[in-house]
Structure 1
Amino acid sequence: MQFISYQRIDPHNSWLLFLKDVFSLLSIFYVTAYIIIPRWFIRGKFLLCLLWLVIIYAWWSVLTYYSAVLTLHFLSPAERLTDYLQFMIDKGILGAFRISSITDYLLDFIFLVAFPLTVKIVQSFMSIRNVKVNLELKNAELELNNVQLELAFLKHQINPHFLLNTLYSIYVLVSDKDDRGEQSMMRLSGMMVYLLHESNQPEIELNREFQLIRDYVELERIRYNESLQINVNLETDDAHCTIVPLIFFPFVENAFKHGPRTSVSNAWVKINISVKNHILYMHVSNAYRELPKPQNYVGGLGIQNVRKRLELYYPNRYTFKTSSEAGIYSTELRVDLLEKENKDQ
């Protein structure tokens, strides 16, 4: 564009002015693009950017003045170009800052630098935006991977004592040719299938989660015989209601893990879970007796895992609390499922 404009004035003697514009534009562009924009402009240091504009404007004007002097002194420019060069020489080396001529100089300067610098500024902002988007995607991916790892940990943290004692109970039932042995084996098999395969889904039907709890409770009932009082109430007014898998199981497992620690005659577990009008209520309680914990005891990982998953999948839509008083340990959970369904739609 600069070359064409100079060719119209003088096709034979304007090359020095063209080289001046190329040199000044290269120096202005690359310093501005790779130093000023990332270090000052992007970081909001606009006063420094304004100062830089004054500096590059002065730099360009000085080069313009001396290129005019050289062209007029060593070349034989046409009349039209001579008038243009003489005008710049008459205004002096600081002609670009004189009130009478600043408009002419400023228009030439803007014509020279505005387009390339605007493209670079837009490109810089787009690059920053892309970096932020990629960072957000990576953070989301890391968060998802973290949740998947936690879920995998949760699925494999079923009390090994439960599995061992349940297998032994099933063995005794099968040895005695008790019909409950076959039923118990099917329940345990169903639990394993659910934990290893079905629970990988983001959400699952509530009835399937209920079935996992029923199977677990019945196996515990066989394990403790009549020594543990168990009361279970699972109901929903929506057969197709879905929920994040394995939300209830850690609380139910904890109730059986800690409830029977009381005296055999006073051990009990109560499980109440219901969904009404898209509001989920859970109340799990058990008889409780505080026992001294071994040194370096680490517990409660399953509950912490569930808290994280509740915060991830139901943020600001759930309430969760636990209490331990008068020999009763209870856990209460309330989740608004309707709001999540509306957002998904």
Structure 2
Amino acid sequence: MYINDKLDELLSVESQRPYSITYKHHIIFWAVYFGLNTLRWGSIHNDFMLSLKTNLIGFPIHIALSYFNIYFLMPKYVYTRKYVTFAFLMVVCLFVMLILKFNLTYYLVSTNVMPEGPEYTDSLTLNYALTTMYGELYVVAFATAIKITVDWLREHSKLHDLEKRQLTTELKFLRSQVSPHFFFNTLNNIYSLTLEKSDKAPEVILKLSGLMRYLLYATKKRKQDLKSEIDCIQNYIDLERIRFNDSLQIDIGISGDLENKEIAPMLLVPLIENCFKHGASKNIGDMNIAIDINVADDFLYFNVANTIPKNEANSKVATRSGGIGLSNVKKRLELGYDQKDYDLAIFEKENMFHVDLKLKV
């Protein structure tokens, strides 16, 4: 799937709801956890009433310590890298929890505070302390892991959403950038004709109005019909033919099945425009531009070549491959298509400057 197929959806539909933990989730989590724990220990002791009583005492302690760790200790000490202080305070909390749980169990439930143990325990022994602290740490770690995971998912979602919005904004900017560049050159053509009081000026204005109509509607879409894009190219070429008269030789070939093929709007026009801007307008004498458009096996093969101006014949390709036109096309391909779905080549051959584009349509 093309990356471009997802970009514009960001502006037309709401973003996915962010990951969050609501009060309902808290209640459901602790209720399920309490129920399972009660059934578990009731089955072990074969005494569900004892299990219920001990869990009614233990779970408020679990909940208090878990939330104290998640919302106070970790933000204040772990996130600020005060690990020693965090460890010390956690040990203090566990010790307070131990004393509280022992006394509540002893006076409210049973003097045997650890019925699962191998022997009767009615005092604060080391085995009871270690077992109780370990169990408390297990619950706190479990709750903390859930909170950290949800926080990570939320931040990752926000970052991903921000990246997509930035990508969409940049792509839309590049689309709109084509129009001012294109109109700037075309208006210059009209200006030249009006200075010469040429009878061709009305025809140029008429064709320009057709192009403006295409740009107003086509560039709002994610994809445009390939035939419409080619019609736009042909109108542009007709405008340039009027400007250059007989000094310009243009060979254009169109083949293949163009039906039901789509392309990012105004993607090909800058490549044609580049030929006139850096080729024809800077040349002296006869000028040649060759355009070949072929569609085969769901791929568009777009090849365009123009005569290299004599004063630039010995310069490097890199100096002529920049500018708004080609750099715009490169960026739009990077943002709008998967890398495997296009191939752009820019090179010189036999005093001609070539741009070859293979694009999935």
- Decide: shared fold, TM above 0.5: yes
8 Å CA contact retained: 2:221, 2:265: yes
Larger Rg: 1
Alpha-carbon displacement from aligned partner over 1:37-65 (angstroms, at most 9, x marks no partner): 99869x9x9xxx99998886555435556
Alignment-mate amino acid for residue 298 of structure 2: H
Compute the TM-score of the two structures, normalised by the length of structure 2.
Answer: 0.66
Structure 1: state its 5+ residue gaps: 338-345
Bigger drift between 317-326 and 259-268 goes to: 259-268
Counterpart among 305, 309, 321 of residue 328 in structure 2: 305
Distance, in Å, in 2 between the alignment partners of 1:38 and 1:208 is 61
When residues 220 and 38 of structure 1 are mapped into structure 2, their CA distance, relative to the original with a 3 A threshold, is farther
Counterpart among 329, 332, 337 of residue 356 in structure 2: 332
8 Å CA contact retained: 2:283, 2:310: no
Alpha-carbon displacement from aligned partner over 1:65-109 (angstroms, at most 9, x marks no partner): 6x48xx98xxxx69x7445599555453x24257xxx4xx47xx7
Counterpart among 207, 215, 219 of residue 195 in structure 1: 215
Tell me how far 1:303 sits from its aligned partner.
1.2
- Which residue in the other structure is 1:343 paired with? none
Alignment-mate amino acid for residue 307 of structure 1: K
When residues 28 and 186 of structure 1 are mapped into structure 2, their CA distance, relative to the original with a 3 A threshold, is closer
SS of the residue corresponding to residue 128 of structure 2 reads helix
Distance, in Å, in 2 between the alignment partners of 1:302 and 1:323 is 16
Counterpart among 337, 341, 357 of residue 314 in structure 1: 337
Ranked by relative contact order (alpha carbons within 8 Å, sequence separation 6 or more), the top structure is 2
Structure 2: state its 5+ residue gaps: 1-33, 43-48
Tell me how far 1:193 sits from its aligned partner.
1.5
When residues 232 and 166 of structure 1 are mapped into structure 2, their CA distance, relative to the original with a 3 A threshold, is farther
8 Å CA contact retained: 1:228, 1:260: yes
8 Å CA contact retained: 1:232, 1:270: yes
Alignment-mate amino acid for residue 64 of structure 2: L
Question: Are 1:135 and 2:159 counterparts?
Answer: yes
- Which residue in the other structure is 2:64 paired with? 26
- Which residue in the other structure is 1:231 paired with? 251
Compute the TM-score of the two structures, normalised by the length of structure 1.
Answer: 0.69
SS of the residue corresponding to residue 197 of structure 1 reads helix
Tell me how far 1:248 sits from its aligned partner.
1.0
8 Å CA contact retained: 2:111, 2:121: no
Distance, in Å, in 1 between the alignment partners of 2:95 and 2:176 is 65
8 Å CA contact retained: 1:235, 1:273: yes
Alpha-carbon displacement from aligned partner over 1:135-169 (angstroms, at most 9, x marks no partner): 21121011101110121112211263432223543
Tell me how far 1:272 sits from its aligned partner.
1.3
Bigger drift between 276-285 and 194-203 goes to: 194-203
When residues 155 and 63 of structure 1 are mapped into structure 2, their CA distance, relative to the original with a 3 A threshold, is same
8 Å CA contact retained: 2:226, 2:263: yes
Counterpart among 75, 83, 98 of residue 61 in structure 1: 98
Matches within 5 A, 1:140-289: 140-158=164-182, 160-169=184-193, 176=199, 182-261=202-281, 263-289=283-309
Question: Are 1:96 and 2:128 counterparts?
Answer: yes
Tell me how far 1:289 sits from its aligned partner.
2.5
Distance, in Å, in 2 between the alignment partners of 1:38 and 1:290 is 70
Taking only aligned residues, the RMSD between alpha carbons, in angstroms, comes to 4.4
Alignment-mate amino acid for residue 198 of structure 1: A
Alignment-mate amino acid for residue 304 of structure 1: S
Alpha-carbon displacement from aligned partner over 1:208-266 (angstroms, at most 9, x marks no partner): 11111111111111111101111122334132211111111111111011222565333
Matches within 5 A, 1:79-94: 81-82=110-111, 84=113, 88=121, 90=123, 92=125, 94=126
When residues 286 and 233 of structure 1 are mapped into structure 2, their CA distance, relative to the original with a 3 A threshold, is same
Distance, in Å, in 2 between the alignment partners of 1:262 and 1:117 is 72
Distance, in Å, in 1 between the alignment partners of 2:225 and 2:336 is 16
